[in-house]
Amino acid sequence: MKAHTRVYGTGFVTGEVCVPNERFTKVCDTTDEWIRERSGIQQRYFVREGTATSDLAVDASRKALDDAGWKAEELDYIVVATMTPDYYFPGVGSLVQAKLGLPPIPCLDIRQQCSGFVYGLQVCDALIRAGAAKKLLFIGAEIHSGFMPFSKHGWDVLNGDSDESVTPEEREWNSRFRHLTVLFGDAAGALCVGPTDNPDRGVLGFALHSDGKDATSLYVPSAGFAYRPYFSEEHIREGRYVPFMEGRNVFKMAVTKMPEAIHEVLEKTGLTLDDVKLLIPHQANLRISEGVQKQLKLPDERIYNNIHRYGNTTAATIPIGYDECRKSGKVKQGDLVAFAGLGAGFHWGAALMRE
Ligand code: UT7
């Protein structure tokens, strides 16, 4: 398989406030021990109110541009993977273009949730192969704090700005969503992507799948045009703006489908698992990564996890992991890197890239 597309620079940012597990115990019935044992998460970052997904996306992009040595004005395409855009519409792509002060270049949003990176990378590769882009900015950006059911005071407690307990009623309300709220964080990761003349270095292949039959195992039962009006007081009263998740079902799908997709992309590209230097999986739960690792029989040094520091940042997790691996030297030129993710939809898949 020949590479046509390469990554020239990476960067990421998180929300401004680091929230350790302990703070969640002040707003809902949970423990640091439960969160660590069931998910591996120790802390996550949330933005302060007023920071939007496009702001994180722009900050991550500036870092990636610096890393690549590209000027923003050289960009000719923007692709953003996000399920948490600033507004219902428009998407984040054109907001990033305007905030970077760029001329009217094409901008595209995709919505593949936790598999936004693997799907988005295929879109970028296809645009480059088609000659539609030469200096492309690819961003995975998410702000989950807008999904959270906390009051203003609840946020003050979580942010460490107040020690005054939440009311028992508020605690009870927040606890209804505890299986979900403790898992997510806010962040953005960006990549500068362009064509390459070296067929041995860059994106080598993909194995992507979607199946909507279990879509309601993980979805937002509100703010959509299946409802009239698409958002209502009743939705707010019932907490339907918070994602609904059948955690066990999602867990099972993730540990089954990600290894399948990795085997499939290796077969397609004529490579084997032994060729893979490092797997950077989507970070939804450390136990999911461990399940994938066990099935693939990978030693610890060939899989990268950082969920303990950031939680699940959906489309941003793989770009963050990849940036950390490139910059720490864990991934070096010539190394074969595999990426894999599964998320709401359901969408899942894997990608292979030679650094
Ligand atoms: O990227 C895609 C997005 N999502 C995922 O990938 C999520 C995949 N699923 C998971 O990660 C796990 O299923 C969870 C972390 C969500 C849950 O872990 P689990 O081991 O499947 O726990 P569970 O839902 O079966 O709940 C076990 C117990 C329940 O109590 P009872 O019924 O046994 O008394 C829950 O009420 O844990 C309770 N629980 C909690 N306890 C303390 C649920 N959330 C919490 C919490 N703190 N935050």
User: What pLDDT was estimated at residue 151?
Assistant: 97
Cα(70)–Cα(28) distance, rounded to whole angstroms? 45
C-alpha angle with apex 315: 226 to 281, nearest 5 degrees? 125
Domain 202-354 in the same topology as domain 4-196? yes
Cα(239)–Cα(147) distance, rounded to whole angstroms? 10
User: What pLDDT was estimated at residue 282?
Assistant: 98
Q: Is 192 an active-site residue?
A: no
Atom of ligand 1 nearest to the CA of 182: 48
- Three-class SS string for 36-81? HHHHCCCEEEECCCCCCHHHHHHHHHHHHHHHHCCCHHHCCEEEEE
pLDDT tens digits, one per residue of 175-214: 999 999 999 999 999 999 999 999 999 999 999 999 999 9
What average pLDDT does range 271-281 have in this prediction? 98
What average pLDDT does range 167-179 have in this prediction? 97
Q: Is 18 an active-site residue?
A: no
- Three-class SS string for 162-184? CCCCCCHHHHHHHHCCHHHHCCE
pLDDT tens digits, one per residue of 146-155: 999 999 999 9
Residue in 28, 119, 142, 179 to alter for ligand 1 test, most ligand atoms within 8 A of Cβ:
179
Question: Does the domain formed by 202-354 have CATH 1.10.3720.10?
Answer: no
Residue identifier of the C-alpha nearest atom 24 of ligand 1: 247
Atom of ligand 1 nearest to the CA of 179: 44
**Tokens 């937002």 sit on residue:** 220
How many other β-carbons are positioned within 10 Å of the β-carbon of residue 273? 15
Homologous superfamily (CATH) for 4-196: Thiolase/Chalcone synthase (3.40.47.10)
Q: At what angle do helices 286-296 and 32-39 cross, to 10 degrees?
A: 30
- Report how far ligand 1's centroid is from the alpha carbon of 115 (Å): 21
Q: Where are the domains of the chain?
A: 4-196, 202-354
Are the CB atoms for 92 and 109 separated by under 8 Å? yes
Tokens of 16: 């401004």
Residue 1: is its pLDDT beyond 80?
no
Using 50, 70 and 90 to split pLDDT, how confident is the model at 6?
A: very high
- Report how far ligand 1's centroid is from the alpha carbon of 2 (Å): 43
pTM (two decimals): 0.97
User: What pLDDT was estimated at residue 165?
Assistant: 87
